[in-house]
Every structure is written in structure tokens, then in C-alpha cells.
Amino acid sequence: MTSTASSATAAKDTGPARDNESVHAAAERISAAGESRPRPGRDPVNLPMIHNWAEALGDGNPVYTNAEYAETSVHGGLVAPPAMAQVWTMGGLHPEPAPDDPMRAMTAALDEAGYTSVVATNCEQTYHRYLRHGEHVAVTTKLEEVTGPKRTGLGEGWFLTLRYTWYVDTEAVAEMMFRLLKFRPADGDEPARPTPEPAGDNTADESDPRTGSPILPAINRDTAYFWEGTAAGELRIQRCGRCGLLRHPPGPMCSECGATKPTHLVACGHGQVYSYVVHHRPPVPGKELPLVIALVELDEGVRVLGELHGIDPDEVHIGLDVEVFFRQVDEQVTLPCWRPRTEGK
Amino acid sequence: MLAPPNGREMIMTVVAGRTLTAPEVVPGTALPEERIEVSPTFVVSTAIATRDFQDVHHDRDLAVAKGSEDIFLNILTTTGLVQRYVTDWAGPEALVRGVSVKLGVPCYAHDTLTLFGQVLEQVEESSENRLVLEVLGRCGRGEHVRGTVRLVLPEVES
């Protein structure tokens, strides 16, 4: 659960919250406008463009380029490669922006709010049927969803989901869900916490596992109290503000009574190894292996995962008494770790 | 004879392979691994062939100025390669119903893109018997793409 974009319901009275409100307002307005007018492709589906595509991508399938073969094939004639659907309506060298393009309107709104960079994360194409040579397609675009703000490895940003539909006359022939992240680059004044998504994983050079930055936790409104705690040398455990149930990992809602009023208590930092693994392979960026990962049952009754240090992996056992200590990883993140308990047993 | 422009063995003649039939393929079947040498020519020619004229796909100076290491593959090409990788294996009359890609690290010029694939499951969709395949594309910096392809194979050999 590292990458789910969460809908923002921001606090009302701060500057960033006002920005969020303006982004939500723009998203609502642009989504409500629905599908853009159909924009026709420059050319009908044609052999020269298909030939160029097949040559460049190395696709020798004769149903695209060999009329004789295609005639006797399952298609009964020449067709276009399905993955070319979008190619037919690309804007070309000198694109003319459509005034009702929701992508343009939404990216402009996010530019204004300071989210100036962009990266595509997902593209899901569905082909309802193969296109025949000579058919003329037109495309419409619709803004489906805007979620955020979300902290990502690239910086804080918003995920936009757009739906493209390609038509021949009134028949929908192909569709695409396209998701992109509009973000404020991480070197700005807003510090960013990496998550494994979306702009690539944190896989370091496998030849030396200690190189590369360690994978850091995602920090959001639900988990901020926890990381503020570790930075202050406290192991904070979430407690329901209504029924008092302790829970970990943190979440917005109590699984017992459904209340959304989390508070926390500071754990005493003692517990016992409930279970553990010794990680040998594969390499983990920024970590020396083998590494013991323990599930620690706190004296308060909640279980917490963490690295276990200060003991030979062969000597770790279930029931081992452990105590928490804190290890600062970078300016923003301090990890709680565990070591055998040495006093006051 | 001229060398193939993109380092891949290119067979552009009419000799088309046979199309696999549905009974021949079971979940778990692996696709042969394919390595693509991603030369600058490959990046540029595929970007232009997909009518993507963004400078980061053909102008290294501008790509570097914008924070990239080099020019890199565009999304339409990545999607196209995932589709082509699967139909190269399945044969010319396999019908592609969908290609989904999740994008990871950029694939820069001078890198090698290695494609892997396997059949995940058979599903019944829109009254068709479809195969769901997973395709992975890795380059030097990590996972470039994780894709899913939905495919229909002929029930019997034609």
C-alpha cells in the first residue's frame, strides 16, 4: 500500500489548503465539462505510416503490410497494429491545441498551483476492434479523476486520470486510460519523501547493495505523527480517540468502532520478538546484509515491524526481549529499530 | 546488405510464422526473452514513427538540459514494443484486445531493453476466450515497463 493516491480533504485555513481547494475546484469544473469535441486524425489509417511504424519497432506481422497475406488471414484485409491507435491522432510537429482539451486545462491549473513538472505513470489501452486501412479516426478526451496532493519520490504532486476514446464515425473503436503525475520537483522548498512509485523504483546497482539510497517510508497525514515521534525519540502508537483501541500500522479509521479520530500514546519501547526473518537476498539499497527483520510484540500489545540489530542472526529467537532505538536515515526520516534488551528485565 | 537499424534481427519478409492455437498455450507458459539494443537511431526512429516530436526523444542536448541522461523511449513506443513482443511469439493472426503499461525508469539511448513475458491466465471476456499475459521490460537502471496484454488465439489451426 505505497502508491494509492488518496483524495485530499484538506484543512481549511492554510495556504497549501487554499491551493488544494483551487485544484479541486478546477478538477470538478473540468470533469463536469465531460468529453471534449472529437478531434480527427490528420490522415486516414494508411499503409505508409503503418510501414514506418512496423519498420521502426521491428514488427514483421504481414497482416499490417502485405495485402495478399492479409486477404486470406482472419482479418480478411489489411489492418493497423492495435498499438497504433493513438498514433493516428497525434498532434504532430506543430500541434494545434484544442480549446476544450481537459488535459491542457487541468495541467494549466496545476502549473498555477506550483505543480509544474509532469511524468506519465500508466497507460491502459483497450482495442474494441482492428482498424482497417482507409478508416478515419477521431479522438475525444475526458478528465476522469484528480487525486492528491500526494508525496512521491519526485516531489509532492497530483495524479490526473484521463480517458481517451477513438471513434470511427460514432463507433468507439479504442479507448485509453492515461494517468500522469503533475508534481512540484523535490528540490523545491517542500521536502519530498520517496515512495517506490511512480517514476521508477529505487532499485540500486545490484553489484554493490550498500550503494544507492535506502528505500524510505511514504509519509502522509495518517502517518506523519509516527515519523515526528521517531524524530523526537518516541515510538508512537495510534489509539482510537473514541474507543481507545491501539492499532498499528496507522490508518485513518478505527477498525473496531469506525471512528476517524486517531490519537496516539508513546510506547515504553519494550517488547518481545513475535516472529522474524533473516534477509540474505536480493540486495536492498543502502542496507548491509544479512539483515534481521523482526515483528515485535510491544508490552502494550501491538505488533510493530523493524530491523533488529546488535545480535548475530543465528542467535535471534522468538520471545527474545528487545528494546527500541532510533536511527536517523536522512534529514526527514528516523527509523525505529530494535536491539536485545540489556537492562531492567 | 545494410545492418538492421536497431540491432534486432529484422525479418521483414512475408515469411510469417504459424499462429499458436488456444489449446497449445497454458498459464505459466514463458515467452522467449528478447534483448533490444536501444540505439539513438532506435529512439529517434520509433518516436517519429509514432508521431511524437517531443524534443526529449530526439535532441540529446535539450534532453540533458531538462534533467535526463540522454534521449529516451516514448510511451507509444513502449506500448508498441509490448504488443509486438507478444504477437511475435503468438503469431500473425493472434488478436490483441488490450495493452496496459505501468511505466518505471526511463529507457535511455545506449541502454539494452530486455523483455520477458509469461501467460498469467485464461479468462472469459466479451464472450471470448482470452489470454492475459504479463510482460516485463528491464533496462540497466531497473524496470522500465510492466505490461499486461490481452490476447485471443484461434481455437483450432486454420
User: What pLDDT was estimated at residue B157?
Assistant: 67
pLDDT tens sequence across B67-77: 889 999 999 99
* Dist. CA A322–CA A78, nearest whole Å: 70
Provide the β-strand partners of residue A123. A178, B101
Consecutive H or E run containing B78: helix B75-90
Average pLDDT (A291-312) is 93
pLDDT tier, A199 (very low <50, low <70, confident <90, very high otherwise) = very low
Residue A56 DSSP label: H
pLDDT tens sequence across A19-40: 788 899 999 999 999 999 999 9
CB pairs under 8 A between A and B: 138
B76 within 8 A of B52, measured Cβ to Cβ: yes
Say how many Å lie between the first and final Cα of chain A, rounded. Answer: 36
Helices and strands of chain A, counted as H and E runs: 6, 13
* Dist. CA B140–CA B143, nearest whole Å: 8
Q: Which of B18, B54, B100, B103 to mutate to test the interface with A (most CBs of A within 10 A)?
A: B103
User: Residue B42 belongs to a domain with what CATH number?
Assistant: 3.10.129.10
Q: Is B6 inside any structural domain?
A: no
Per-residue CA distances from A204 to A121, A145, A200, A304, B109 (Å): 20, 33, 11, 27, 20
Q: Tell me whether residues B100 and A58 touch, CB distance under 8 A.
A: no
Average pLDDT (A182-191) is 64
Is the pLDDT at A12 greater than 90? The verdict is no
Average pLDDT (A65-73) is 96
Q: Is A121 on the interface with B (CB under 8 A)?
A: yes
Report the top-level CATH class of A15-45+80-185.
Answer: alpha beta
* Dist. CA A85–CA B145, nearest whole Å: 19
Q: Is A54 on the interface with B (CB under 8 A)?
A: yes
C-alpha cell at A120: 506519465
Q: What ipTM was reported for this prediction?
A: 0.91
* Sign of the alpha-carbon torsion through B94, B95, B100, B103: positive
Q: Is B148 inside any structural domain?
A: yes
User: What pLDDT was estimated at residue A195?
Assistant: 33
Of these ranges, A98-102, A117-121, B17-21, B116-120, the one predicted with the greatest mean pLDDT is B116-120
Place of cell 510506547: A267
pLDDT tier, A249 (very low <50, low <70, confident <90, very high otherwise) = confident
Name which of B2-6, B84-88, B123-127 the model is least confident about: B2-6
B107 within 8 A of B78, measured Cβ to Cβ: yes
Is the pLDDT at A276 greater than 70? The verdict is yes
DSSP A139-176: EEEEEEEEEEEEEETTEEEEEEEEEEEEEETTEEEEEE
Q: Which of A61, A154, A180, A206 to mutate to test the interface with B (most CBs of B within 10 A)?
A: A61
B47 within 8 A of B56, measured Cβ to Cβ: no
Residues from chain B contacting residue A57 (CB–CB below 8 Å):
46, 49, 77, 80-81, 84
* Dist. CA B146–CA A201, nearest whole Å: 12
Consecutive H or E run containing B79: helix B75-90
Is the pLDDT at B130 greater than 80? The verdict is yes
Q: Is B104 on the interface with A (CB under 8 A)?
A: yes
Which residue range forms the structural domain that includes residue B52?
A: 22-152
User: What pLDDT was estimated at residue A154?
Assistant: 81
Is the pLDDT at A282 greater than 80? The verdict is no
Mean pLDDT for chain A?
A: 85
Q: Is B32 on the interface with A (CB under 8 A)?
A: no
pLDDT tens sequence across A226-238: 998 998 899 999 9
Based on the structure, what is the number of domains in chain B? 1
User: What pLDDT was estimated at residue A224?
Assistant: 87
Is the pLDDT at B2 greater than 60? The verdict is no
Consecutive H or E run containing B44: helix B40-49
* Dist. CA A267–CA A302, nearest whole Å: 10
User: What pLDDT was estimated at residue B4?
Assistant: 46
User: What pLDDT was estimated at residue A2?
Assistant: 34
Average pLDDT (A151-164) is 91
DSSP A202-245: ----TT-TTSSPPP-----TTTHHHHHHHHTT--EEEEETTT--
Is the pLDDT at A321 greater than 80? The verdict is yes
Residue B9 DSSP label: -
Interface of B with A in 37-96 (CB under 8 A): 42, 45-46, 48-53, 75-77, 79-84, 87-88, 92-93, 95-96
Is the pLDDT at A10 greater than 50? The verdict is no
Q: Is B157 inside any structural domain?
A: no
Say how many Å lie between the first and final Cα of chain B, rounded. Answer: 35
Q: Where in chain A is the domain with CATH 3.10.129.10?
A: 15-45+80-185
Average pLDDT (B146-151) is 97
Q: Among residues of chain A, what percentage have pLDDT more than 70?
A: 86
Q: Is B7 inside any structural domain?
A: no
